[in-house]
Every structure is written in C-alpha cells, then in structure tokens.
Structure 1
C-alpha cells in the first residue's frame, strides 16, 4: 500500500511537471510572438516616418529657390538614403493627367481606347462621364439620365455635377474594376485643363493626345527620362498641384509607402508652403 501511494504521488508530480512545461512553453511562444509583433510595429513606424521624410524632401525640391535644383514632376524616380533607409520618390504633375471634370470627350474616348476598350465602348463610356459631370440640368433631364442606372440595378443616378474624387469614376455606368485600375494613375480632378500637358504626362494620358500612339508615347517618355533619372533638373511645366509617391525600405526589408496630392502655396506670407489635397498610406491606384 505504501509503495502504491508513492507510485501515485510520483505520477502526479510527473503530470504536474509536464503541465508546467507545457504552460511555460506556451508563455514563451506567446512572449516571442508579442516581441516579434512589437518589433515589426516599431520597424513599420520607422519606415513610415522615413517615407514621410521623402515626401517632405520632394515638397522642398519642388520649390527650391534655384531652378536647377528643382525636381522634375514627370514621374521620374529620385533615390537617396535617409536615416539608414533607402528612399525612392516620384512626382507627377496633375497637369499631365486627364481631368475627369474638364477633359474633352475626344480625350476621354482616346484614353479608354489606349487602355484597351473597344471603340464603341470607349465612346459610350466617354459620354457617360460627360453626362455624370454635366450640371444645370432640368428635373426631367436628370430623371432621363438616371433611368439607365436604375435599369441596371443601381440605387443612384449621375451626380450631375463635377466629380468630387477620382474614385467616383467607379460609379459611372460602364466602368469596370479592371479598366479603372489601369487608368486611375493617369486621372485627376485638379488640372482644370481640357487635355494633358505632354511635358509631364504619364503613359496613358500622353497616348490619349490626338495623333499619339502608345508606342510613340513610350518613346517620348524614354527620351524625357534618358540620362536624367534621379538627377536634379529644370522643371518644365508642372503647375502647382502634384502627386507624390514616397517609398522607404529599411535594411531588414520593412517597406512603407505614402502617396499624397499636394498644392504648393508659392511662398505666400503666412502659408505653410503647401496644402494636402489627398493622403493615402500603402499601395493603391
């Protein structure tokens, strides 16, 4: 009986040790996971601020006192190191993009065509964009323009006013997610021009100009960037509104992306130098 009790006691101790080992292992794994998460968050936060520094560097370079030191807002990439991170910044002038509120139907049609749409669909979609942004309409005209949307199962009709954002284009009848993803980087609502500025236009916007093809546009952009990428240069055209994309990559591969649309203030007394019109973190259109 005495030996039986000792055996039971030994078994209980062994089970207790096993349970304790399991608990300690679980706590150790949890502590390691939390430590890794904290380190990732710390590195991600550092990368975010490094990317923000790249964005601020671009704002400064757009307004450099010496024109020869200004960065060119035609989409070329400027690379430099900051705080141990590799920073890559590109700036695109909004005047080089297709303005949803002011672009002519011909430019819109050509944009949809070079993005891969068939001629009939491209023309119909251009008219749908124009119908969406048209204003000063009568109640009957608004009702008529809303009918195709309601027939397609939409709960809304055209705004009958200017686009409030580029993303709003996705609501226009006939716009597909695939087409929107292709053309979104070439669109704006801040240009105010009927056609893109060829000096700063990205590929599809440049190819939408009359007499232009995708092949010709690629050659022009290659010529524009040849031997100048990453170097200061004289800013041509450009206007005062720009989209900036700043990417920071740390030594361990941690990556942060900031995208902002800013309007420079021209050094007006009391101004902050620029105003942010749009701010996005992470990848996207």
Structure 2
C-alpha cells in the first residue's frame, strides 16, 4: 500500500475521526489514536464514564459527548452542525473499533451524505483478534454479531446459516453463552468444530477449541469460566464432494451382468445416489453397449 508521509498528528478541521480503542489491555492503543484523541475539539463516546477512564489513563483532557443507541439520531444532527462549523471530533466505542456492533452508523451515514470528512484510525477489533488466534479458516468468514435473545429466533438465524461454508463469528454475553452453545449444537450438530474466545488481551484470556459438544461440555463443567465477553467462531459447513455417474461403474456393470433392465438399474442408482436420472441413464446405456 502507498505510504502517506503526512504526520499522523495533523488534525483537520471539520473532520470526524473514528478511533479504535483497546478491547482490554490499555497498552494496545496506538500512538496515532492517542495523538488524535488529545488533539480533537471533542470526543463522542458510547459511555462517557468508561471513556473518561481511558482518557485519564492516557493523560488526555477533552470534552466528552454521549452518543449511544438511544440518542444517536438527535445527537448526529448536533455533531454534524459542529463539524460544519469547523470543529474536529473523535468517535469511540466502549472497546475496539466503533460501529462494529456499536453506535455510530447513523452519524457516519449522515456525515457522508453531507460531504463531511470521516477518517478511520485503525486499531483493535475483537473479531479480527479472535480469528487471528483461533486456528479456523480465515480466508472467508461471516461476522453475525449477537444471536437473538429468544430461542426460537436464535434457532431460525442458525438454520439460515446451516450450509454456509464460511467461518461464522458471533459475539455473546456470559448470561446467554450456554443457550447459544446449545442452539449451535442443535442446528449445526455436535461435531462441528469451533473456538470460544473470552477476555482477550486481558489477564484471564482464554481460547477453548473443539467440537461444539466439547466446548459446551467444557463450560458446563467449568461455570466459573463463563465470564467476560465471548467471541464464538464456528467452522463453516464442509460440503461432501459430489459424486458423478461414472463413480458407480462397478455397481452398474454388476447389475448388467445380472440382466437387470436399464430402467431398473437407473431407478436403483438414482434412489441410492441422489444423482440426476438423465446422467445415470446415459451412463448405464453407455456401459451396456460397451
């Protein structure tokens, strides 16, 4: 990628910076994030009390503005006006990269519509952090957020993902962990491989790999470990290789030697293999004439 020589501490007026913050270990904050948070006119935060502690740890003093699910629509209009007047601001969530299952979508969408500059300041993300150390395929994955709280809806969502071949990634809270693991077992099967990650970058960081049944059994046997926020990663569906009509040649020849009619052989193999009738019928005729 192109190397931008512009100083990372240069703050532009009329700009909102989307700043990723640590998901646990405060040492994970980037130099650029510290510089931006210490230079903007204000910081919009999901929970101002939580963010105040972070800023204090970094010796940063900046006005804090609350922006959460319940006030985002109205607050976005206010922040738009302030940015259009030339102020600079930063948006942070309680942990990790903003907008990933956190508030901010309405604000960023509004700013883009009004041609206000939005600049991402990359950093920690629970999804990427968990995947990087899980040992599951990461060339293709699907982040699904939190599963629904109600069991029926939870099962419906998982059923829609049952044949998805991508690694599936979910967030889960400790009080719903066991219900979600049970639902995964019910829909995806007890043998599907998965990894549960918790307390990442913190003192009690833990990755629990195994089949869905094994992970469920582990947390059943260790209820003291059902703490902290979880990232559940489940291997995608592995489709069995499709067999061709020619894969049944020996069986077809054997039935032809017993003088079974072509139609009967075809019906038997279609019922057995699930292959299309036309392909089987053509192969039977081909072998019969050879």
Q: Report the TM range for the smaller structure's normalisation.
A: under 0.3
TM-score, L = length of structure 1? 0.22
Higher helix fraction (1 or 2): 1
TM-score, L = length of structure 2? 0.22
